[in-house]
A and B are shown apart, each in its own frame.
Chain A
Amino acid sequence: MTERKTRVTVTIDPRLVAYANELVEAGKADSVSAVLNGALAEREARDREALRRIRDIAAQADPEKVARMRAHVDAQLAALPASHRRR
């Protein structure tokens, strides 16, 4: 990755710091920063995949049926007391 890194201060559990150091010492990671960068990148990928999954499933819905359900829900929401409709 060629993008410039940003320096941040974070607090990490001692056992996780020890594990990151072990990875570096064993030659399995370039630095503790690289370990953290990789972990965050994995988390980001997992979250994006989860979002993609629900969007892919939703794309298979029958738009007319969803429109009818939405209109039905909207009508019920509009009939709620004002206290339950807005802030």
Chain B
Amino acid sequence: MSEDGGFLPAPVILDASVLTEAVRGDAGVLDLILGYDVAGQPLLMPALAVVAASLDMRSDDAAATLRGLEQLENVSVAPVQGADQAVRLAAVISRTGLDPWDAHVAMVADAEVCSILTLDGRKWREHESDLDDRLHYVEISDPDDS
């Protein structure tokens, strides 16, 4: 709850598809993220999703984009901290068959009880029931494109 007694928005997780597109220089995705940051929406970048985006584009500019996102006021990186979290991540990978970065996104969404912001709704639709509690995702798309 916020200091004035109101409710705070739950965090939203940026998945590998969103971070990869940001790293590729998609102005619309970056502008959307900046807009949510300015609005005070907490955003989480799971460390392994950052790895996926960094693997997609190996350059100083790509690294600078990821560093820039981390500097935003309402953006935090969710690490894999300690052996317990690493073992839990392995369990999510084993159970879902997801790539490690997507499994990390799923693990954080499950632990933090929050939704996943993605450009790949189809992937999360396939995996939304893989864990005990349903995974919720929000797809970025322009309705005018469909």
- Per the bound structure, the CA–CA distance linking A37 and B116 in Å amounts to 40
Known: A53-B68, A72-B142. A84 touches B117 (CB 8 A): no
Residue of B nearest to A71 (CB): B143
Interface size on B, residues (CB 8 A): 36
Cβ–Cβ contact A47 & B67, under 8 A: yes
Residues of chain B with a CB closer than 8 A to A65's CB: 28, 142, 144
Using a CB–CB distance below 8 Å, which chain B residues touch chain A? Answer: 1, 7-10, 12, 22, 25, 27-28, 30-35, 61, 64-65, 67-69, 71-72, 113-115, 117, 136, 138-144
Offer 19 A-B interface pairs, CB within 8 angstroms, sorted by A: A47-B67, A50-B64, A50-B68, A51-B68, A51-B72, A53-B61, A53-B64, A54-B30, A58-B31, A59-B31, A61-B28, A66-B32, A69-B28, A69-B32, A73-B32, A80-B136, A84-B10, A85-B9, A86-B9
